[in-house]
Amino acid sequence: MKIIFRNFRVIDAFTDVTGSVIVDGGRIVDVVPDAVVPHGDGGLVFDGCGRLVLTSGFVDMHAHFREPGSSGKETLESASLAAARGGYTSVVCMANTSPPVDNEAAAISIKRRADAIGLISLYPAISLTEGMNGKKLSPYLAAGRSAVRTYSPPLLSEDGRDVADEGLLRTALRAAAEGGHTVSCHCDFGGEDAAVKRVLELGVDCRIHIAHVSAKGAVNLLRDHKSHAPESPVTAEATPHHIALTRGDAEASGAETFGKVAPPLRSEEHRLELIEGLRDGVIDVIATDHAPHTTDDKLNGAPGFSGLETAFAVCYTTLVKRYNFSLQKLFSLLSAEPARILGLSGCGAIAAGNNADIVVLDTERETVIDGDTFASRGKNTLFSGRKLYGSVVLTLHDGRVVYQA
């Protein structure tokens, strides 16, 4: 189906024009600056009134979709809808389900179900070790390069567990590198700074991505690493909650219950260093770490927040409104860079030939966040009651409208 977006502010990491975007057959077929594209010829027409922002769909490198095993917290349906409402068109879901996703068949079965739901492109990560037991390589990695694959995960990850055995970690990273994979390291155990230092000093030639950087020391280690080794393939992410909130916000909601997250919310000093890390490129992307839980699980200390539906508003309000980041920079963090790191071709930019994965935003619209209205089953957010700028008006995936406010 042909769709014409006329008179929009078309902005991504590479472009900033006012004009029109024409979509057909699941692809962006043309980007027309300045020209007023005529109405109609049978397709659907959206008018941006010269004001609404059109950019490429967001790409989340880190979310927990909870299936299989914990559909009380989230289902593929509810998570997909939450993603679409948040402007996300591509999402990597972590492997720490029950059972953990440690083999290709399990990943494919999740991907097939998500494809059937059809709201987003879902890429299940696969674990480094069998059953995430930290004892031997996962069946996926053990099968090695010679295995015939139909699904190649854009990320491998042991999630919050990391691999304690350093020999096994090296073996896993070497196997990942041979398969051309990027490995997301969570660096939660033994303190974030020490865990990041350990990973940076392993010296294995593997593309490593550091998940949810939250500590000043870790930012400085990464800054040092990148300045001494500009060609290093190490990348890093920060979450919306760590850039917007501090320990005080966690304590106000219960540091061991509703305010609990891993890594924890820290002091203002740490938060400001994260902002600087994002500004100067030490941290490459924003990832949600969407971690939906039931209310009972939060009361029992389950860490994490439901993040997909607030990510844009939180990041826009914090980074653009408060810290003067450009919209182009924000879209680099939310879309272009994660697409590049994950190797998702046709994603991350509004350009002819790319996938018609598009999000329309009203950056001036203020909304009061209410977790109870989330599409996600996880209503756990510290942003409830906050007035934030920036809302998602429409999300297009594969050329189809998957969400419209």
Dig out the tokens for 92 from the structure.
Answer: 């990597």
Which residues ranging from 285 to 304 are in contact with Zn ion (CB under 5 A)? 289
Applying CB under 5 A, which part among 19-27, 120-128, 213-221, 283-291 lies near Zn ion?
A: 283-291
Smallest distance from Zn ion to CB 267, Å: 22
How far is the C-alpha of 281 from the C-alpha of 226, rounded, in Å?
9
- What CA–CA distances, in Å, run from 75 to 82, 95, 133, 365, 405? 10, 14, 24, 30, 22
Instruction: Provide the mask over 87-126, with x wherever binding to Zn ion is found by CB under 5 A and - wherever it is not.
Output: ----------------------------------------
Instruction: Provide the mask over 327-356, with x wherever binding to Zn ion is found by CB under 5 A and - wherever it is not.
Output: ------------------------------
Task: Give the number of other CB atoms < 10 A from CB of residue 6.
Answer: 20
The answer to whether the peptide bond before residue 230 is cis (omega within 30 degrees of 0) is no
Smallest distance from Zn ion to CB 93, Å: 10
Q: Which of 297, 327, 317, 332 is nearest to 368 (CA)?
A: 317
Question: Of 169 and 261, which has the nearer Cβ to Zn ion?
Answer: 261
Q: For the residues of 198-221, what is the DSSP string, one character each?
A: HHHTS---SEEEE-----HHHHHH
Smallest distance from Zn ion to CB 224, Å: 25
Smallest distance from Zn ion to CB 188, Å: 9
Smallest distance from Zn ion to CB 211, Å: 6
162 is a catalytic site residue? no
Rounded to 5 degrees, what are φ and ψ at 188? -95, -30
Residue 51 one-letter amino acid? R
Which residues ranging from 215 to 274 are in contact with Zn ion (CB under 5 A)? none
Report the residue number whose CB is nearest to Zn ion: 289
How far is the C-alpha of 393 from the C-alpha of 98, rounded, in Å?
35
Task: Give Cβ neighbours of residue 146 (< 8 Å, ≥ 6 apart).
Answer: none
Question: Of 158 and 273, which has the nearer Cβ to Zn ion?
Answer: 158
Smallest distance from Zn ion to CB 397, Å: 23
Question: Of 237 and 289, which has the nearer Cβ to Zn ion?
Answer: 289
Question: Of 289 and 357, which has the nearer Cβ to Zn ion?
Answer: 289
Question: Of 92 and 333, which has the nearer Cβ to Zn ion?
Answer: 92
The residue count for binding Zn ion (CB under 5 A) is 1
How far is the C-alpha of 402 from the C-alpha of 396, rounded, in Å?
6
Smallest distance from Zn ion to CB 35, Å: 44
How far is the C-alpha of 287 from the C-alpha of 213, rounded, in Å?
10
Helices then strands, counting H and E runs in the chain, come out as 13, 16
Question: Of 158 and 398, which has the nearer Cβ to Zn ion?
Answer: 158
Instruction: Provide the mask over 7-46, with x wherever binding to Zn ion is found by CB under 5 A and - wherever it is not.
Output: ----------------------------------------
Distance of CA 193 to the CA centre of its chain: 22
Applying CB under 5 A, which part among 26-34, 111-119, 173-181, 282-290 lies near Zn ion?
A: 282-290
Q: Which of 102, 284, 289, 362 is catalytic?
A: 289
Applying CB under 5 A, which part among 145-153, 169-177, 233-241, 281-289 lies near Zn ion?
A: 281-289
Question: Of 21 and 245, which has the nearer Cβ to Zn ion?
Answer: 245
Please check whether residue 182 is in contact with residue 337, taking contact to mean a CB–CB distance below 8 angstroms: no
Smallest distance from Zn ion to CB 308, Å: 13
How far is the C-alpha of 297 from the C-alpha of 150, rounded, in Å?
36
Question: Of 60 and 337, which has the nearer Cβ to Zn ion?
Answer: 60
Residue 246 one-letter amino acid? T
- What CA–CA distances, in Å, run from 355 to 89, 290, 349? 10, 24, 9
Residues catalogued as catalytic: 289
Where along the sequence are the contacts to Zn ion (CB under 5 A)? 289
